[in-house]
Amino acid sequence: MSVTATSEIEADPLPPRQRSRAWAKFRRNPSALLGGVIVVFFLVVALLAPLLPVPGPAETDWSAVRKPPNAAHPFGTDEIGRDVLSRMIWGAQASLLAGVVSVLIAVLLGVPLGMVAGYMRGWTDAVISRFTEALLAAPFLILAIALAAFLGPSLTNAMIAIGLSAMPIFVRLSRAQTLSVMTEDYVESARAIGIGHVGLIWRYILPNIFPPIIVQATLTIATAIIAEASLSFLGLGQQPPAPSWGAMLNTAKNFLEQAPWMALYPGIAIFLVVLGFNLLGDGLRDALDPRDT
Amino acid sequence: MTDIILSAQGLVRRFTARKPLFGTPSVVQAVSDVTLDVRRGETLAIVGESGCGKSTLARLLTRLLAPSEGAVVYDGRDIASLSDTEMRTLRRDMQFIFQDPFSSLNPRMTVGALIEEPLRIHRMGSAPERRAKVADLLRKVGLRPEHADRFPHEFSGGQRQRIGIARALATGPRIVVGDEPVSALDVSIQAQVVNILEDLKEELGLTLVIIAHDLAVIRHISDRVAVMYLGEIVELGDAAALFEKPAHPYTETLLSAIPIPATGARKARSLVDGDPPNPISPPPGCRFHTRCPYAQARCRSERPGLRTLAPDRQVACHFAEDLSLAGVDATMAARPAAAERRFAVYSNARANMTGAETNKTKLPTEE
């Protein structure tokens, strides 16, 4: 950089700005794209379930009980002759819904609470923090089970229970991030130009605390899918005969030796979806950060 | 009668340093009883070493911090007693430039959005008008309008500080307080930013309050200088007179620390040793007596107040009249030849910039 202001005047003209940097950056990241493709694939499959040429998820075929994969049933059949492929496709609805909706509940409740605590400090912070710590004192799954049992068995209640159980992580994360962002000079510079509370929170704090929250959210989707599986196993989640991957996995464990395919495919599906969300989350975090190219 | 734009009256700011579960918390008085007038259109420099409370004072003057005691009067109103909403409106007139250009710009906003934001907050102009104003401001600080779509991290420190200046000037403020606006920058960039400030002050009729620890930097831009030590103003006066003949021993010490770029110019500089005393328990009497080479018995017991020594000169020292202190020789501390060349190149560039569209004169470049 030269001493005078001349360097800027003489520099080459800039290329026109790209319309979306975030998307351009996301597209250049192969693992993020892979994650996106996996997630979109499962979403499409889940949405198109009624249109796909498979038997109904609750249709039983007593002549084909616990049959290994074959032409009629590509993924085999389960212990009462239901098509595993069909149940997986329909189960994707429950599992994805449980993962995404419960995390949305957790984020939408937890992040504002955490930001308010970090922004207001003092008594507000003390009350929110103690409440959060009380929730955190109970193990995640135990809390979800207790809440689900209290709310009554259904997929909706399971999602609410998982969402509430996952919320404290987001409260703590966003509170800690808010506290650290609040000490930044640019927050003081925002106050110096006369910004209001809403503008400060919306334009300065939220964008700067968001990346770790996105990463935490994708990780929590994975946890939530597994939690839904556990609740379903206990009869607190998806109600039989409607399928979910977790419920399938939990039934399959009784037949691991006789019918390993019953566990294999739902297991692979959970693995892939969780992987997909994690890759997607990492990619989003990188793409949304204007600092590294 | 000089026109006072901003006035600090008996300002005190305390911070709780440590708060034990039992017992009394230890309290630091970062600013103690500062009374100071800022005149309309002047450049007032506040100098002192690290930890003397000058940044705190800058924040008190703009109410980024609330004073523990005292008042800040702007336009006949005590801004310390304004409501949040009233204060936000007032920020249109009163802006702040931050020390660290790397952390004072929101990394997630484009330069254009950063500079436009004050205009938007104060509902000044329509969207296209604001856009035009941003381009104009970027040009004023020596950047190009195309830079508006880039993010702060794509710029160097000096460029970012100029973005900070553009943001501070967007609303057309009447007074700008700069908290060490150049001390985080490379020495060669400091001159550039100081000059931009000086030019814009001239052009926009601003009042500037500049905080600095480096006297050499503020020397040629300030009209008056206030010297702070341990939260108090120890000397206040016309810049040229104060540099030439300091009245407070601490000012003499500060002046002797200015490097003089000439062979054999180094004086015996060890006037003062050690660190300033702990501000949690400042010494009794004159706060400077522990390090003052001229200290006498009276200094250890009796605290000197700020008193008027001559017109435009106040000092807090019992023996100001008796001491003959060394200042900076005007010829010795003049800009060295190399710096003079750089300033000349810079002024040329500035002069040509306005006419750059019409005549495509090749601007002089630095090697």
Encode pLDDT of A144-163 as tens digits. Answer: 999 998 998 888 999 999 99
Query: Which of A17, A186, A207 comes nearest B104 by C-beta?
Result: A186
Q: What is the pLDDT of residue A119?
A: 93
Task: Report d(CA B327, CA A19) in Å as an integer.
Answer: 59
Distance from CA of A194 to the nearest CA of B (A): 4
Q: Answer yes or no: do B364 and A8 touch at CB < 8 A.
A: no
A12 touches chain B (CB under 8 A): no
Domain membership flag for residue A77: no
CATH number, domain of A111, equals: 1.10.3720.10
* Residues of A whose CB is below 8 A from B170: 193
**Total domain count, chain B:** 2
> Model confidence over A182-223: pLDDT tens digits?
999 999 999 999 898 999 999 999 999 988 898 889 878 878
Write out the residue range of the structural domain in which residue B212 sits: 4-16+27-222
In the block, tokens 């994650």 appear at A35
CATH number at residue B137: 3.40.50.300
Instruction: Provide, as residue numbers in chain A, all residues whose Cβ is less than 8 Å from the Cβ of B122.
Output: 194
Tell whether A9 lies on the interface with B, counting CB pairs under 8 A: yes
User: How many structural domains does chain A have?
Assistant: 1
- Distance from the A251 Cα atom to the nearest Cα atom in chain B, whole angstroms: 49
Are residues B134 and B245 both part of a single domain?
Answer: no
The alpha carbon of residue B349 is apart from the nearest alpha carbon of chain A, in Å, by 6
Query: Which of A6, A188, A193 is opposite residue B121, by nearest beta carbon?
Result: A193
The answer, for A203 touching chain B at a CB cutoff of 8 Å, is yes
Mean pLDDT of each 10-residue bin along chain A, 293 residues long: 40 46 82 92 89 78 78 80 86 88 95 94 93 91 90 90 94 95 92 90 91 86 84 81 83 83 87 88 80 59
- pLDDT tens string, chain B, 367 residues long: the values are 468 899 999 899 988 877 777 777 788 888 888 999 999 999 999 998 888 888 899 999 999 988 999 999 998 889 888 888 889 889 999 999 998 888 899 988 999 999 999 999 998 888 889 999 999 999 988 898 888 988 998 898 889 999 999 999 999 999 999 998 888 888 778 888 888 888 888 888 899 999 988 787 777 788 999 999 988 999 999 988 888 888 898 888 888 877 766 665 555 555 566 777 887 788 888 888 888 888 888 888 888 888 888 888 999 988 888 887 877 765 555 566 677 777 778 778 777 765 544 444 444 444 3
d(CA A88, CA A45): 10
* Separation CA B113–CA B106 (nearest Å): 10
> B214 and B105: one domain?
yes
Could you give the ipTM of this predicted complex? 0.79
* Residue A178: domain span: 21-47+84-288
Instruction: Tell me if A180 is assigned to some domain.
Output: yes
- N-terminal to C-terminal alpha carbon distance within chain A: 21
Question: Has residue A232 been placed in a domain?
Answer: yes
